[in-house]
Structure 1
């Protein structure tokens, strides 16, 4: 034998003895049979160099181990079993050992990166089963049609979890049978979608563990199987979003189930998809939202519960959000309304990783507190026997509102675009197209707008004589002449227009400020002082809307105080000021604009009305840097303005700051409001009437709440009997004690 052959034979001997476990005699006998073929025991002793007295027992041992077979003849003979067959059991055992060790083995890479790679089908399938069985709340699966049998039994055990499945690689061949979810998947699967695209197997469990099987159902060779077991949270989120945001929207529904409450969600889009169905049969404020996550600015962990007020969702728009009322009280300056987005959102107030929706009994269970009860009692007892015995003057801003509808399509005439969300989606389509965006609208009607119009409507509905002074056109626009034909109209110049895009659920407003800001000088150019005094003298109240005129207010307030008031023999008992667009001007402009109010208040009591947002702007302007104050915000603002009363109005109620006291009155909650626009103006009108009729401050808040909430509920101001009825039923909007 050559040296090379001797070396190979020596290596083979070493392998059989050290790795297979054969003894030296067994190795020599087996190799002799492999090389020499069938031999008698005597011949075998010679060719193997094994002592003859050991040949028989050595051959018996090799037969027991499956390496040789014995021919019972005379003389007895032996031959070697085919090596492939002889070593098959060993190879099988090694394969099993390899698979078991792979399951047990956790590489350094998997610990550090949160990803483990498996190449064995059996191991991959084991992890799929383990993952689905361990799901606590949520299973999101994308599975090729050919692999559904691998997961069906595991999914059947998901009785309390939310399960969504995408079946991929569905044949588009007309002769192929359609996937039947009822036959291929258990009833525990909540929603099934299908796609003909070829997608790999992907599984997300509770959004914190996942598995990606890179060749399942794709037709690759077995050697290319790759199963990635993922525990890294960021990587799981990427996998989850790929399934839920890239593939899910483009897949077609195969089976859906009506959502039931309560329900927990890990994805805001899943929550909103269900809410879109739920909201068809329930009012939004009957739905309670509980969410856990983080404050988008500070990163602080939070858990809040509130009432749903609005949501935005489109399957083809990545943006998705909830608006939730956290239930703030009427005297809080910070709004109780917050926006909630999904994981990683930055545009909303909070980023939520868990959302639970429940059905509530509605907000009418809020109890009427003792303070509001006292004010309500005073209002009922002191309402005038007859409204309309006094008169008021309202100025100095006015607009013409043009009501428009966006055209969705032309068929049998134009069809209105019904919802604001549809309008937003049309803008997204414009953004994605190469053409020039075009919006078609039609004007349905026009109506008077601005402070003088809204207060004038409330006063007129209750029978009060009112004089409207403002930029209402030269000649006066027909909208004002038609609406206020029984009232006195005084124009201070040309008006401008506000365009409202009206949808069934919201309105979008485009406003052009008055061309000439109202100042004392401009006012006297249109109406001389004597004529102005005649209109105001003898009235019970002067109410002013300041809108976009903040920079010119000092001259107006100073002119009223120094030039107008001394000429009046019977001046109004109160001046009411409705704050304007405080956020549109610099802090110094706002401070200067309202700086003359304190001097005006020395001549006649001034009441300033503002909503929550305007109050927050005042706080930032007057307080500067945030801090801790012992005096309530509304009281600090009143003192800075130097006025008799400062009132903040919200949908939850109203707060009035007077000298040495702050009053709060809860407002009735309107469950299905017909109108949200201009509610502030009608609240202000209620306060104005309370001042004209000499009601107490607490009763005045009740009257303001009543006019505002009535308008929200009925889309028109109340008449005398409607107002009395609303106030008599005021406490029925609240839960019983």
Structure 2
């Protein structure tokens, strides 16, 4: 140390002793810590030239006076409090000394051993400020009301971060109608704010990687002094973040007079924050206009992934720790491979992927706006819609069931029970039985009974529009009352005993327990019950014969052969179209499926056959192509149509419908429904709309529009449309894209 430095240190020691009241040992120890940073007691004895046996009590005295702080580690370490804080009371008198000290001071930014304990109010507030100022993407704060004045200024320029604030210690009389009142001006940079009346400690986490937990004197356990735990271990910071986000936030109440719709694009570190915003956004726009990009990992392989897709659905309630979203990762509307994936938060094992960051944006709107082709098909449909529905007769066969609608019974409370609303919850209850010695028992309750199957779904649409409908299928012997009651004004032709499907509806999916019919329907069975002459009476003059499904009628090839060879030659005016819905054909082997579509190809020689399928069914057909049709540039629907050798093939999804007719491939966007009331059985109602379009002789583009309209109306209202409703929906088709 040269003479100039010795003079500075002499001045500092003299100033600290004469003006601050430090002893000789205290000034030496403090200056040694200022110059050298973190030091153990042994190290400090050497650098300060203070006897080791006096170092401990000297450091403790300096800590009590607010000059140093201790780190509870082994061996124990001390460091100097920032001089601007320690000397604030005599700042003006120590300007020169402070200048020299700042030149020597080594700031304590290397508190990286996981958790550091602070007891000085000034030090704790310093690190709170540092955390908020250095946050990159996310800030979560739990702040007692008394500290709000100090915290709000820190948030005023945090417009690049996602900020959530919970204010605690609010007076009970500030609660009103499930909201709380605060007489504070909250910065617009705060994305969401809530309040609780309970007494809570202060907590802050940033980017889910760092945090600080500050116990107050009134809430500390086993001590009368406040303690601040500065957390730099990311795993521990995540625990604190989850505690505040999952245990405090859901039970806090929103602030009165503050409603802030999220502005997109927006990035999230918590899945639940993203889902909370989705709940607000989905009140005003369809889910499929939103895109989600996420970074995370595959829950099966552990592989890091980055994926992006259109939102298809989500599950979220504030009081259920389980939360997930479903996205469609395909960009190609013609693609048929499974493209729906589920995404959960950090640590999930149930969903396909676990996300550690997500971005929500509106970019999907470009794909869902009313494009020129859809607009052209819509104009055609409006021109071709009949002035009056119901002028013709329709025949529908053969898939028919009696559906018993049920719900799973959950927990009982006195004489009431909670319905199990989510499929995963039901699945987990079954898994729990593995650890139980008792036999599994599932309680369910029948809520209603109704006609089901292809016959009922298609027949219901035509019946509502006042067509004369003939329904042929396993309707019961005698005809089951559920069919007789709903279709009392129609012709019911039963060809055998009805079977039952126990239809369990959950909020996110359905579960069907179907009783197989041990008397499968074939051509001989139909002739035994009806006969060719009676069938001819029903079919002669009808514009369309709507058939389904191969799933429930595996002997359909024999029926098609019988219709072609025995019935068609007797008809004076045979149906102008045959419309076929395959159903769940994945249950059958390749030979059975091929036999079915060979029969369809043969039947197309006597009447134009239209096959309508969803993406999963189309994938099954495509997998049987063996590369015999088309090439990589040929659309899948065209390849499948060529292989089936039918007049039309239609594939529909929740975003668009595509038709191949041998000459061209047509596509029509699906109207996007805000807050759909029903997502189940949409397939059947699209099929019904296509059958209706074929019955009225609409052109192919208009067929897609009418199919989309019937299905979308059902999604929106949970019922089939009447004449005026259907006509109005088609007329307003383009308005469902106006939210863009």
Q: TM-score, normalised on structure 2?
A: 0.70
Quote the residue 1:400 is aligned against.
Answer: 402
- Is 1:131 paired with 2:131? yes
Q: How does 1:309-348 map to 2 (within 5 A)?
A: 310-323=313-326, 331-333=334-336, 339-345=342-348, 347-348=350-351
2:668 to 665, 668, 680: 665
2:155 to 149, 155, 158: 158
Is the 1:402–1:447 contact (alpha carbons within 8 Å) kept by the matching residues of 2? yes
Quote the residue 1:556 is aligned against.
Answer: 559
Quote the residue 2:305 is aligned against.
Answer: 300
Change (3 A) 1:620 1:106: farther
Quote the residue 1:204 is aligned against.
Answer: 205
Is the 2:407–2:420 contact (alpha carbons within 8 Å) kept by the matching residues of 1? no
Q: How does 1:552-631 map to 2 (within 5 A)?
A: 552-622=555-625, 629-631=632-634
Give the whole-Å Cα distance in 2 for the aligned partners of 1:315 and 1:596: 53
Give the whole-Å Cα distance in 2 for the aligned partners of 1:571 and 1:320: 54
Deviations along 1:1-59, one digit per CA (max 9) or x if unpaired, are: xxxxxxxxxxxxxxxxxxxx9xxxxxxxxxxxxxxxxxxxxxxxxxxxxxxxxxxxxxx
Change (3 A) 1:292 1:385: closer
Offset of 1:693 from its aligned partner? Answer: 3.6
Offset of 1:157 from its aligned partner? Answer: 0.6
Is the 2:611–2:648 contact (alpha carbons within 8 Å) kept by the matching residues of 1? yes
Change (3 A) 1:506 1:499: farther
Offset of 1:541 from its aligned partner? Answer: 2.5
Change (3 A) 1:587 1:156: farther
Larger-Rg structure: 1
Change (3 A) 1:153 1:293: same
Deviations along 1:592-622, one digit per CA (max 9) or x if unpaired, are: 4434322232333221111233223333444
Offset of 1:631 from its aligned partner? Answer: 0.6
Offset of 1:496 from its aligned partner? Answer: 1.7
Q: How does 1:19-58 map to 2 (within 5 A)?
A: none
Offset of 1:470 from its aligned partner? Answer: 0.4
Give the whole-Å Cα distance in 2 for the aligned partners of 1:227 and 1:373: 62
- Is 1:441 paired with 2:445? yes
Query: SS at 2:555's partner residue?
Result: helix
Give the whole-Å Cα distance in 2 for the aligned partners of 1:632 and 1:250: 48
- Is 1:87 paired with 2:89? no
Is the 1:405–1:442 contact (alpha carbons within 8 Å) kept by the matching residues of 2? yes
Offset of 1:657 from its aligned partner? Answer: 0.8
Offset of 1:658 from its aligned partner? Answer: 1.3
Offset of 1:669 from its aligned partner? Answer: 3.2
- Is 1:640 paired with 2:648? no
2:483 to 457, 480, 483: 480
Q: How does 1:278-427 map to 2 (within 5 A)?
A: 278=280, 282=284, 285=287, 288=290, 290-294=292-296, 296=298, 299-302=304-307, 306=310, 310-323=313-326, 331-333=334-336, 339-345=342-348, 347-348=350-351, 351-355=354-358, 367-404=369-406, 420=421
Give the whole-Å Cα distance in 1 for the aligned partners of 2:35 and 2:168: 34
Offset of 1:665 from its aligned partner? Answer: 2.3
Give the whole-Å Cα distance in 1 for the aligned partners of 2:710 and 2:432: 45
Query: SS at 2:370's partner residue?
Result: coil
Is the 2:142–2:244 contact (alpha carbons within 8 Å) kept by the matching residues of 1? yes
Give the whole-Å Cα distance in 2 for the aligned partners of 1:679 and 1:219: 58
Offset of 1:499 from its aligned partner? Answer: 3.4
1:701 to 698, 701, 704: 704
Deviations along 1:173-226, one digit per CA (max 9) or x if unpaired, are: xxxxxxx997999986934558789x9x86421123345789997567899989
- Is 1:456 paired with 2:481? no
- RMSD of the TM alignment (CA)? 5.2
Give the whole-Å Cα distance in 2 for the aligned partners of 1:497 and 1:659: 39
Offset of 1:372 from its aligned partner? Answer: 3.0
Deviations along 1:647-676, one digit per CA (max 9) or x if unpaired, are: 112343321111132111234333354444
Q: Report the more deviating stretch, 461-470 or 205-214.
A: 205-214
Change (3 A) 1:732 1:181: closer
Query: SS at 2:155's partner residue?
Result: coil
Change (3 A) 1:731 1:126: closer
The answer for unaligned runs of 5 or more in structure 2 is 1-5, 40-78, 81-104, 171-179
Give the whole-Å Cα distance in 2 for the aligned partners of 1:86 and 1:694: 104
Deviations along 1:447-473, one digit per CA (max 9) or x if unpaired, are: 222111122222233343332110000
Is the 1:330–1:665 contact (alpha carbons within 8 Å) kept by the matching residues of 2? no
Query: SS at 1:420's partner residue?
Result: coil
The answer for unaligned runs of 5 or more in structure 1 is 1-20, 22-60, 69-83, 171-179
- Is 1:466 paired with 2:469? yes
Is the 1:163–1:191 contact (alpha carbons within 8 Å) kept by the matching residues of 2? no
Is the 2:284–2:674 contact (alpha carbons within 8 Å) kept by the matching residues of 1? no
Q: How does 1:152-191 map to 2 (within 5 A)?
A: 153-154=150-151, 156-159=153-156, 160=158, 161-163=161-163, 190-191=193-194
Give the whole-Å Cα distance in 2 for the aligned partners of 1:616 and 1:190: 47
Change (3 A) 1:341 1:678: same
Q: How does 1:479-498 map to 2 (within 5 A)?
A: 479-498=482-501
Give the whole-Å Cα distance in 2 for the aligned partners of 1:419 and 1:575: 41
Is the 2:286–2:672 contact (alpha carbons within 8 Å) kept by the matching residues of 1? no
Query: SS at 1:493's partner residue?
Result: coil
Query: SS at 2:632's partner residue?
Result: coil
Offset of 1:394 from its aligned partner? Answer: 1.3
Give the whole-Å Cα distance in 2 for the aligned partners of 1:700 and 1:521: 34
